[in-house]
């Protein structure tokens, strides 16, 4: 590892530990020449997960898009940012564990709704109304009735 201070190519690892989420390793290094310390992060280089949109377009999976959508649906609701981050992280982990390199946006939306239903019903209904694009109040009421029956 090249020292960012003096450019010397030899450093030693002083400390090594996993990050909180366990997806990378944090290493404290010391330059053999100048003695200065710095931190590096080592993570697995993953093959990108592609999302197939309704119109057939493909784009790289973004956990941030899930977080943004759930944040919008959960405005003024008692859901912490940490819960939303965990939801997005769990969905990403589940998708990557499938070993498929492409996943339909419909599957992702259904996974989000399934988890939101367990976290907060109001947020679930808000998210579902945008995701499922309810065309009229009747379709919206059907979804509410289905939710009410499941909770009874």
Please state, for a pLDDT cut of 90, what percent of the chain lies above it: 65
- What is the arithmetic mean of pLDDT over 120-149? 82
pLDDT in tens, 45-57: 778 899 999 999 9
Q: Is residue 145 part of a domain?
A: yes
**Number of independent structural domains in the chain:** 2
Is the pLDDT at 142 greater than 90? The verdict is no
**101 shares its domain with 28:** no
**78 shares its domain with 108:** yes
Q: What is the band of 19 on the pLDDT scale with cuts at 50, 70, 90? A: confident
Inter-axis angle of helices 121-131 and 63-73, nearest 10: 110
Q: What is the band of 61 on the pLDDT scale with cuts at 50, 70, 90? A: very high
**Domain assignment of residue 23, given as a range:** 11-43
Is the pLDDT at 89 greater than 80? The verdict is yes
**87 shares its domain with 31:** no
Which range scores top for mean pLDDT: 73-77, 132-136, 145-149?
Answer: 73-77
- Torsions phi, psi for 29 (to 5 deg): -120, 155
Judge contact between 111 and 100, C-beta under 8 A: no
Q: In this structure, how many other beta carbons lie within 10 angstroms of the beta carbon of residue 63? A: 16
Q: What is the band of 139 on the pLDDT scale with cuts at 50, 70, 90? A: confident
How many Å apart are CA 71 and CA 31, to the nearest integer?
43
**36 shares its domain with 100:** no
Q: Is residue 6 part of a domain?
A: no
**15 shares its domain with 56:** no
DSSP state of 46: P
CA–CA distance from 89 to each of 16, 45, 58, 64 (Å)? 24, 17, 21, 10
User: What SS3 state is found at 18?
Assistant: strand
**86 shares its domain with 111:** yes
């Amino acid at each position: 590892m090249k020292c960012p201070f003096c450019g010397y190519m030899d450093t030693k690892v002083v400390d090594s530990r996993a990050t909180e989420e366990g997806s990378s390793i944090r290493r404290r290094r010391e330059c053999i020449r100048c003695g200065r310390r710095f931190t590096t992060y080592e993570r697995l280089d993953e093959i990108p997960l592609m999302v197939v949109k309704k119109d057939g377009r493909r784009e790289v999976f973004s956990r941030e898009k899930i977080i943004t959508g759930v944040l919008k649906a959960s405005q003024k609701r008692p859901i912490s940012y940490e819960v939303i981050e965990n939801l997005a992280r769990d969905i990403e982990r589940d998708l990557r564990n499938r070993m498929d390199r492409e996943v339909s946006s419909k599957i992702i939306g259904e996974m989000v709704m399934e988890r939101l239903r367990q976290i907060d019903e109001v947020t679930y209904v808000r998210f579902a109304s945008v995701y499922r694009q309810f065309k009229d109040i009747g379709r919206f009421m059907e979804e509410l009735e289905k939710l009410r029956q499941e909770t009874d």
